[in-house]
A and B are shown apart, each in its own frame.
Chain A
Amino acid sequence: MLSIKNLKVSINDKQILKGLNLEVKAGEVHAIMGPNGSGKSTLANVIVGRDGYKIDSGEIIYEGKDLTGIEPEIRAREGIFLAFQYPVEIPGVNNVYLLKAAMNAKRKHRGEAELDAFEFLDLVKEKMKVVNMNEDLLNRAVNEGFSGGEKKRNEIFQMALLEPKLAILDETDSGLDIDALKIVASGVNGLRREDRAIIIVTHYQRLLDYIIPDYVHVLSDGKIIKSGGKELALELEEKGYDWVREEADAA
């Protein structure tokens, strides 16, 4: 589904990703862990097409097509979704409206009919239950005045509604209380399917107790320096990153 080869990316002439490789197949869940500033959010942003990043070399292939030069909205309509580490507040833009516009943009792109108001609201109600979201949040401006946890929950709610093929969660677990963490996890698990893939960026093993990953990768200084199964997360939790770095340097 997603194939990243030797990706080098810089911001303002500073190279952040330094030859990154990642293969994600449909049906898989990948966790990416790594020290602060190692390039995890940069990777997520580059996949969804945020501008300001320069791709120096390498490629990002999604469903057989190179994403380079594709507008972010087209990527979204093709099924890529990023739950942001820091969701932005957008005063004056109604949450429901955004969802409806997003939903219909995707449907139109696929040649499907737009949902009518009732179908849409039914769907919204159904998905709200998944993340246990408060109805007032729905009718407020996007993220405006939401608490940290509410913002994260709203991201997962959007994800549940839009049903992406490739979902990327950038530290969705940070700032969540235990109950919210379980809700987020059940939202993500609800999305898990043969034809979908999920990438979870996290600092904590805790989330991975609820969402069991197929692979765990360590991203350090712009490269994936180690990959393993779910037990790697436990090991990292216990021992930190230094040993992985040393191992990588030695190799």
Chain B
Amino acid sequence: MSSPQDNILAENFHAAFSAHQDANAVGDLKSLSWLSAHRQSAFDQFQKEGFPTRHHENWKYTDVSRITKTGFITANPTHNAIQTDELDKLKFNTENCHELVFINGQFSAEHSDIGSLDDQVVIGSLRDALKNTPELIEKRFNQFAKKNHSRENHVFAALNTAFFHDGAFIYVPDNVVIEEPIVIYYISSHNEVMLTTAPRNLIIMGKNAQASVIESFHGLKGVVSFTNTITEIETEDGAVLEHYKVQQENTDSFHIGGTHLKLHRNSRVESHSISLGGAIVRNDIVTDLAGEGAEIILNGLYMGNGRQHVDNHTLVNHSKPHTRSDEYYRGVLDGRARGVFNGKVIVHKDAQKTDASQSNANLLLSDHAEIDTKPELEIYADDVKCSHGATVGQLDKNMLFYLRSRGLDADTAKSLLTFAFADEVIRRIKFAPIREQLEFNVGGRLPGSDLIKANLSSARQN
């Protein structure tokens, strides 16, 4: 940090951090010295490293200077207003689910509907849980930060740790199956200034526990925000988790998110990451397959138009034998949008019989759209099965012509083929209300969308 502007920024942060620590100290979390220690060391890391520039390998294609100029006005508990009808419009068409709502990062008990829970299960605000059951959290919290910060723990994650106010906490005890999905809405609703929110989520799945968790990010019409979110997930032996992250914020907003997973023996996580909104978006998913037989599915779709910039980084560490990862990411870029995909798989020395496959396919719809895709494979074990591949292409001319020769206009034909490409990812989503809403929203972004929507409903009838 050297320029005068950076110095001002640094001072601002310092003041903000002290104020934040004070606020926490006078609040109910004062007795949690371990938490304060995490926050302090994260803040120190941030002070030391500053924001990344494009000289950092890990940020080579993504320039965050527009984000660092936003002023970082942190949301506070007064920023929790939303009209119920506006909220309802954003929701998935779910009949039964456990619903958590965060308005500008503030948990809204009023709008949440957690429903009835079995004994011992916790679904709620992390802040509440830190007051009520800190012992469940202390050991699991911020584990990824201990791994000396390379790409796995970049400075935005540290900022989240230093500044987070609240987030979701989900604890599913051993052998408990939560049938209904847990849906978490994060809504930016404040339009006077650009607020920064730092949701912090922790999901703990006990042995053989099962659940589905959906994180869904939205901005109300015209609201510009910066979301800097972190989710930590730990699955004990034999646990099964479906995790969805759906980002549909406004195209002027900034979103940086990290999902850090640790999977123990024979546990299985299916991760679906769908990124449609945002001006600058960065998603990191870092997985540690830390127990024999652990398995992760990474399914992802990113779409950009206009000047959207969307960057997905995934890292899978195969740390133990017989672990499996299967990654399938697709990108659709139009206008002057720019996409980045970096998928790294590391097979560590002990991880014999690893099975890792990765594929990334991109569709460029305009001459000005761009994608930088880089699959990386590092293998330190000898008995493994690994494959990866990346493709970049345009719509197939023969297919377009075939559709037009049957009477479909050019725009509809393009939309239909684009939709078909994106739907390869969306259709893997098992949870129907999300799949259907996403198909509808993705179809709705394309020209001739009425017909595509008709296609969806006709396909569903059949």
Contacts and interface: CB of A to CB of B under 8 A. Distances in A.
Interface of A: 48-51, 71-73, 76-77, 81-82, 84, 87-88, 90-94, 96-98, 100-102, 105-106, 109, 117, 139, 141-142, 158, 162
B416 interface: yes
Interface residues of B, number: 28
Interface string B12-34: 00000000000000000000000
A101 B459 CA distance: 13
B9 interface: no
Contacts of B417: 90, 92-93
Contact of B406 (A51, A98, A139): A98
B458 A94 contact: yes
A4 B416 CA distance: 34
Contacts of B412: 101
Contacts of A109: 407
Interface in B380-426: 396, 398-399, 401-410, 412, 416-417, 419-421, 423-424
A77 B405 CA distance: 9
B416 A93 contact: yes
Contacts of A97: 454-455, 458-459
B461 interface: yes
16 contacts: A48-B405, A49-B405, A51-B401, A72-B404, A72-B405, A73-B405, A76-B407, A92-B417, A92-B421, A93-B420, A96-B459, A96-B462, A98-B408, A100-B454, A139-B462, A158-B406
Contacts of B97: none
A142 B420 CA distance: 11
A72 B398 CA distance: 13
Contacts of A98: 403, 406, 408
B407 A77 contact: yes
Nearest to A103: B407
A83 to B, nearest CB: 10
B462 A73 contact: no
Given A88-B398, A90-B399, A101-B412, A76 B405 contact: yes
Given A101-B412, A105-B409, A117-B461, A73 B402 contact: no
B451 interface: yes
B458 A73 contact: no
Nearest to B408: A101
Contact of B403 (A90, A91, A94): A90
Contacts of B401: 50-51, 72
A73 B398 contact: no
B458 A71 contact: no
B13 to A, nearest CB: 47
Contacts of A84: 402, 405
B458 A100 contact: yes
A88 B399 contact: yes
A84 B410 CA distance: 19
Nearest to B455: A97
A73 B400 CA distance: 11
A146 to B, nearest CB: 13
Given A94-B459, A97-B459, A106 B421 contact: no
Contact of B458 (A51, A77, A117): A117
A102 B402 contact: no
Interface string B320-344: 0000000000000000000000000
B458 A106 contact: no
- Listed from nearest, the 4 A-B pairs whose CB atoms lie closest are A92-B420, A105-B407, A76-B407, A102-B406
Contacts of A101: 406-408, 412, 416, 451, 454-455
A73 B399 CA distance: 13
Contacts of B409: 71, 73, 105
Nearest to A92: B420
A79 to B, nearest CB: 10
Contact of B408 (A48, A73, A96, A162): A73
A82 B402 CA distance: 10
Nearest to B412: A101
A150 B109 CA distance: 58
